[in-house]
Amino acid sequence: MKKHRTSPTTDSRYKPARPFNADEFGRVRRILGGKVLFVQGDAAVAYGALLAGCRFFAGYPITPATETSEILSQLMPRVGGVCIQMEDEIASVGAIIGASRAGVKSMTATSGPGFSLMQENIGYAAMTETPCVIVDVQRSGPSTGQPTEGAQGDIMQAKWGSHGDYELIALSPSTVQECLDLTIEAFNLSETYGIPVILLTDGIIGHMREKVVLPEFEEIELTWRREPTKPKEEFQPFLVDSTKIPEMAIFGTGYHTYITGLTHSETGYPATDSQVDHHRLVQRLCDKIRDNRDRIVQVERDYSDGDKDTIGIVSYGVTSRSVNSAVKMLRQDGLKIDHLRLVTNWPFPEKEVAELSERANRIVVPELNLGQVYHGVREAVAGRSEVIPLWKTGGEMHVPHDIVELVKGGVK
Amino acid sequence: MSEPRHRLMDFVREEIMPHRFCSGCGCGTVLNAFTNAVEGLGLDSAEMVCVSGIGCSSWIPSPYFRADTLHTTHGRPIAFATGVKILRPDLTVVVIAGDGDVAGIGGNHLIHAARRNIDLSVFMVNNMIYGMTGGQVAPTTPAGVVTTTTPHSNVEPPFRVADLVVAAGASYVARWTTYHVFPLLESMQNAIKRKGFSFIEIMSQCPENYGRRIGLRTGIDFLKQFKEQALRVEKANGMSEEELKDRIVIGKLCDKERPEYVSELHRITREQVDKLKKEMGGAA
């Protein structure tokens, strides 16, 4: 019988993001217009994705993340990609995982309720070591909560949302510029480590307009997954070298790869009855991130002169903006303030917080929830400093004055 | 002298045989029909992606069929397959999964994929029970049947899944049983060839966790019953609900051309890229 192909439209064949070069980057830059833009955080995320080489997006409408979908629906076809709306968030993550395995950088964007729905498939991406980026524009929860209000209530869920043991990376931008920069970073990290990366923005930054400067091709680095270096007959999809990160055979390249969420051996085949295989796999999924935590973790330090008897503030995301103003006010009053901003939420910057606790007698942790990063800080501080939370919910940011009062008063 | 090799072994992952299906299970018959269908079409398994979910029948392609294989979370194979097919429309993407997976937990993805008319072939193995977990009621279990979670009899009417998929807009829909192996094989070939969403409901047997509760102890008992229950769609047309009670309507339920989702998406992309090129005077 004659050889048969199901899809005759060869000219529509999707171009993988792998040969991402200066020309393609330049084309995206031309589509985005000027070098300096004034846009929303949700838009900056979309632009960052296009510049990073993302060419597949699947999403489901949800406030306050919808703008990212809308902008990518507009622009993605223009750069040769595809942007689709799925029937729910579960399907959205499923589609981006399928697309990633078929050879493209892929992304979805959502908010709290959708992020909850995505958790099972995020665990699948972690277990199968599939690169993808999930943007969570956090809003007040639990449940439907305050759809139009920002919050920082998903920090713990980002790490612990799916069942079982795994590691992933979560980043918290605090400006619209960082929404763009960290989206590119999220793609690089997901491609390098073969994991889902979560970008934790929020309803405030997502909808806030700010100046954004687009990068030049030479200024940024774009990574791509390591493809098989061994011949097909010898290739084992989950056999790793000292990096503990497997090479990834893309579907349709002749490797007959078997990918499952079941516990699997190096061959990829199920090994569900083996305690040894399971432990080795799950330990490696964690180690490939933990071993590289110094390369992954990013923080920003704004410390006072001197190295002891300071007052520390640990902040992240949109809350850092209130803290920046408060720090200025407190320093004008002659106080020695150390501000540690966590750009990376996961893996938790434990070492950096511990170092701060060597300097600071007290550490204030303002966040838009009722206690999430607070717990990580307490664990890292291990009793060396007093840790004072400043929790706020309801959709409004901290007023700098609240932080100043707390720091000066020293008591809650 | 080397041992003679079966012509279909190229399509099977020999290294993980023997398979795990129970004695009398219908999954082996479906794997047999599927590998024969693929071979008959002259398809290269390197140009196929098989996607499946969780359940006994998901093991037909995952891991037994030798292609690129994505063994997904429960109920989601069609969603994952959507991403694969959009990226690689040149590959043949087949979903094989069970009734609990495709019509139960994943029912939403099924109807939306049919509505979009995405070029996937979905072969749903319907054993009318949650077999892998030990015999719980499924959305396809007939009313009145006793299962482990309907110990006082099932009060729900079953889904007629193929009819649902016809109504949702699929290009090609058929229903067969594991008794009708040759028509099933041919139907699989037609489903793969048909551009658009193709769906075959394959009535299959689970003697272990369903049959023993309804008095069908072996695979043969099931096949005899399928033979008796089967009624060609041509004959069934015009018959009353009452007359069709306890019958399995087999055959091709629809086969039509409709605009296909991935082609349409890529058409938009092509148009937008061309438009951009014009706007930028070829600079793009």
CA nearest to B206, candidates B126, B138, B147, B139: B126
CA nearest to A137, candidates A117, A159, A113, A121: A113
Average pLDDT on A281-303 reads: 97
State residue B2's pLDDT score.
Answer: 75
Residues 69-88 of A with CB under 8 A from B: 76-82, 84, 86-88
Contact in structure between B189 and B40 (CB atoms under 8 Å): yes
- In sequence order, the 6+-apart residues with CB closer than 8 A to the CB of B201 are B124, B126, B161, B162, B165, B173, B174, B175, B176
pLDDT in tens, A259-287: 999 999 999 999 999 999 999 999 999 99
CB contact under 8 A, A269 and B269: no
Q: What mean pLDDT, rounded, does chain A reach?
A: 93
State residue B282's pLDDT score.
Answer: 58
Q: What mean pLDDT, rounded, does chain B reach?
A: 96
Ranges for all domains in chain A classified under CATH 3.40.50.970: 18-219
DSSP letter, residue A77: G
Average pLDDT on A226-251 reads: 95
pLDDT in tens, A2-59: 333 333 333 334 444 454 788 889 999 999 999 999 999 999 999 999 999 999 999 9
CATH number for the domain whose boundaries are B9-279: 3.40.50.970
CB contact under 8 A, B195 and A99: no
State residue A410's pLDDT score.
Answer: 56
More confident residue, A1 or A246: A246
State residue A3's pLDDT score.
Answer: 39
Q: Which CATH architecture has domain A18-219?
A: 3-Layer(aba) Sandwich (3.40)
CATH 3.30.360.10 corresponds to the domain A300-409: no
Q: Is A269 on the interface with B (CB under 8 A)?
A: yes
State residue B281's pLDDT score.
Answer: 77
pLDDT in tens, A130-188: 999 999 999 999 999 999 999 999 999 999 999 999 999 999 999 999 999 999 999 99
Per-residue confidence band for A411, with pLDDT thresholds at 50, 70 and 90: very low
For residue A91, list chain B residues with Cβ-Cβ distance below 8 A. Answer: 76, 79, 82, 108-109, 112
**Cβ pairs A/B, distance under 8 A:** 195
Residue among A97, A252, A262 whose CB faces B88 most closely: A252
Q: Between helices A350-359 and A373-381, what is the axis angle to 10°?
A: 60
User: Rg of chain A's alpha carbons, rounded to an integer?
Assistant: 22
For residue B44, list chain A residues with Cβ-Cβ distance below 8 A. Answer: 3
Confidence check: pLDDT of A412 > 70: no
Total Cβ atoms within 10 A of residue A241: 10
pLDDT tens for chain B, 284 residues long, are 678 889 999 999 999 999 999 999 999 999 999 999 999 999 999 999 999 999 999 999 999 999 999 999 999 999 999 999 999 999 999 999 999 999 999 999 999 999 999 999 999 999 999 999 999 999 999 999 999 999 999 999 999 999 999 999 999 999 999 999 999 999 999 999 999 999 999 999 999 999 999 999 999 999 999 999 999 999 999 999 999 999 999 999 999 999 999 999 999 999 999 999 998 875 54
Residue of chain A whose Cα is closest to the Cα of B105: A90
State residue B3's pLDDT score.
Answer: 80
Q: Identity (one letter) of the amino acid at B157?
A: P
